[in-house]
Amino acid sequence: MSSVASNAICEQRKEWRREHPFGFMARPMKNPDGTLNLFAWECGIPGMKDTIWGKGYYKLKMTFGNDYPITPPQCQFDPPIFHPNVFSSGAICMPLLVEELDWRPDVTIQQILLAIQKLLCEPNIIGSADAEAAIMYNGNRLMYETRVLFQAEAMRRPKE
């Protein structure tokens, strides 16, 4: 375990606990022995209100490598969701999470989660990960929106 990565994650955790967007959740997962695993987090993203995603609450896992913050964490919806930028495994395809593209070591967990929330409503069709979702988004928006609304209903937002 890298002490640089551990220190960076601890600082991110302190920052998150001090201040984070309403309705979002991010916390380290627990190991089998009950200790915290700073390198594996469970997160929750509320869908933006007044959008087709609005009723849903989307859970994801964020995994940090030993070279964090030089490299971005891996983010994966669990369970996977239907979206042009989400692989069938739940892995998220977006430039912010790619070291060679938009990743910077100063990007925070809060910024990542807010960017993912925005991506839900504003998919990047050029960098699509799910061909079916991208084709439906471009070719039959009503069918796409109906499927997303059904999905959001199945992943209801917890009581606030």
Cα 57 from Cα 59, distance rounded (Å): 7
Domain boundaries, the chain: 3-154
Q: Is 75 one of the catalytic residues? A: no
Could you tell me the mean pLDDT of each successive run of 10 residues in the chain, 160 residues long? Answer: 87 95 96 95 96 96 96 97 97 95 95 98 90 96 97 81
Among the listed residues 10, 43, 75, 93, the single catalytic one is 93
What per-residue confidence (pLDDT) applies to 127?
76
Residue 1: burial class (beta carbons within 10 Å; 0-12, 13-18, 19+): exposed
What per-residue confidence (pLDDT) applies to 79?
96
What per-residue confidence (pLDDT) applies to 125?
87
| pTM: predicted TM-score of the whole model, two decimal places | 0.94
What per-residue confidence (pLDDT) applies to 1?
53
Please tell me the class of the 3-154 domain: alpha beta
Question: Residue 35 contacts by C-beta under 8 Å, 6 or more apart in sequence?
Answer: none
The 3-state DSSP class for residue 8 equals: helix
What per-residue confidence (pLDDT) applies to 36?
93
The 3-state DSSP class for residue 73 equals: coil
What per-residue confidence (pLDDT) applies to 158?
62
Instruction: Write 74-79 long-range contacts (CB < 8 A, 24+).
Output: 75/43, 75/112, 75/116
Per the CB < 8 A criterion, the answer to whether 83 and 139 are in contact is no
